[in-house]
Structure 1
């Protein structure tokens, strides 16, 4: 059954990526930077003299499963928050501030989990001073820096979980800039500039993603969506139990399903029904115990069920 499902592993690359940068306080949540303009470059097709994996994190993975995600530094949406809203938001910065950075990655499989999200809150020790963010929103300056925003290397498992590399020590720091003019928009610059060559000059958010292969076919989809436990519960417990119920105690069904001819036994049953309908309860009881006696004796059962 497992082999007929053809659960062969096939490549499952990232088809789309987007980035979002939010600041959350007691006064609410504002999205400063958001872009869906991200390029996806295959690792085995990169033409760069810069070593994008100097620590050898990717040595254990197939090059066909690795992709370089490069995003534009300028946001794909304008900054349209009214000034009165900004002023009220600034008042809540000194009370509490939480910065969240998220990646949304989309693949073809597994079905139902095509889009996966990795969201991370910046450590409080790496947050900028509230006064720096306040000065940008008030128009005094146009930029502030956030340290260790997100890890550079990700691994998207076959079941659809996003996990950063545990051995990675240094996260990516970002420079947030509010561009002013006829229109206003935010820009996010990656401060680790070794990505300029690999991304063709794009200096926005960049990540190196390992998208693990996923099995195909019906069983493969079951494994991807529900893991091996889902396959076990579905086939071993449910289907296996159903098959056992159908095949168990076959010898007990022989007197009812595998006799040569049951015409005489059926005639006795019909006589019992007729006697009950006519109110002949004594005749009904005699016929009933005759039928019980026949079934209790294998020899009599064979005699009564012989073919004419």
Structure 2
């Protein structure tokens, strides 16, 4: 009963306990972080008062409310924009070189979600390039101080699903995306801000107009078997126990009939000694001794067969 209770894979809730979001800009000369914040609230879905405002198309109707959370982040970054002017100038030049080679720049958005399980895969990441990037000229004007913001259209999916095995995917059938305005606050020191431009998101986040997302964190099984399934998936469990362990047992049980004369029958040491004596007498040319040993062997085998039949 103890083994069964510890190995019984009962599913339990596995909510998100920590969140961070980051936006990087990539050029031929490297990669810089524009915006990053870890100041995000995690609101359980069951405490939401107006589901229709946040999920108007009812994408989440088939999911358990205990597994859904609304993530609302502050618009201001938790890190400063402390890039020296020479590095920034060289980076702008690298952006122009990338545009000449590839025709566009690249912005990469990262969501990091932290959960309690499965062990070894507590931290999961969603990383994706922003499809509708602004032009290099728009970014240059912000970095040079001519303007202070540029738009990010369809920056990232609005709905995420974190699987029990530790993968982040876009929620099936949900095509909604989040757009925003990335703004550089030219204070001392400067910092970036991301403002969500979708008015329906502000109602659910209770005034927080920064990055937001709706996350479905699937339940994970507990116990020894459950943790193994969550960490290594069903295919790894099959390979380990079915192929490896079963093959070992098969090797131990194969060719049992070849071991019957030595393991299941009475001792054959005397008959083996007679056979070795016959071989030695033949090698020395003692044919009379060989014949005597041969008839002795035949009589011994006949007696042994009689005992086995009884």
The TM-score by the shorter chain falls in which range?
Answer: 0.7 to 0.9
TM-score by length of 1: 0.83
TM superposition shift of 1:287: 12
Contact 2:80–2:190 at 8 Å: present in 1 too? yes
- Pairing 1:30–2:32 present: yes
For residue 117 of structure 2, the aligned residue among 109, 113, 122 is 109
SS at match of 1:236: helix
Q: Does residue 1:229 correspond to 2:244, yes or no?
A: no
| Distance across 2 between alignment mates of 1:192 and 1:76 | 22
> Equivalences for 1:142-157 in 2 at 5 Å?
142-157=148-163
RMSD over aligned Cα atoms: 3.5
- CA distance, structure 2, for counterparts of residue 134 and residue 166 of structure 1: 37
CA distance in 2, matches of 1:220, 1:74: 40
The answer to whether structure 1 residue 134 and structure 2 residue 136 are counterparts is no
TM-aligned CA deviation for residue 242 of structure 1: 1.7
CA distance in 2, matches of 1:291, 1:135: 109
List runs of 5+ in structure 2 lacking aligned partners.
none
SS in 1 for 2:58: coil
Counterpart contact for 2:22–2:35, Cα < 8 Å: yes
Contact 1:272–1:287 under 8 Å retained in 2: no
Of 181, 192, 198, 2:187 maps to: 181
Deviations 1:161-192 (A, max 9, x none): 11112422331111111112222111111111
Residue in structure 2 matching 1:18, options 17, 20, 34:
20
- Alignment of structure 1 residues 204-283 onto 2, 5 Å: 204-259=210-265, 262=267, 265-266=268-269
User: Quick one: which of 37, 41, 48 aligns to 1:46?
Assistant: 48
> Match of 2:90?
88
Question: Secondary structure at the residue paired with 1:196?
Answer: helix
SS of equivalent residue, structure 2 residue 54: coil
Asked if the contact 2:22–2:36 (Cα under 8 Å) also holds between the matched residues in 1, the reply is yes
SS, match of residue 138 in structure 2: helix
Structure 1: how far apart are the matches of 2:167 and 2:18?
A: 16
Q: TM-score, normalized by length of structure 2?
A: 0.83
| Displacement of 1:245 | 2.4
Distance in 2 of aligned mates of 1:114 and 1:165: 20
* Alpha-carbon offset, residue 46 of structure 1: 2.2
Question: How far apart are 1:267 and its partner, in Å?
Answer: 6.0
Count of matched residue pairs = 299
Instruction: Name the structure 2 match of 1:121.
Output: 129
SS at match of 1:93: helix
* SS of match in other structure, 1:20: strand
Between 231-240 and 44-53, the greater mean CA deviation after superposition = 44-53
* C-alpha deviation, 1:25, in angstroms: 1.7
CA contact (8 A) 2:75 2:209 kept: yes
Shift of 1:97: 0.9
Preserved CA contact (<8 Å) 2:23 2:35: yes
CA contact (8 A) 2:278 2:293 kept: no
Q: Would the aligned equivalents of 2:14 and 2:219 in 1 still touch at CA under 8 Å?
A: yes
Q: Is the 8 A contact 1:21 1:33 kept in 2?
A: yes
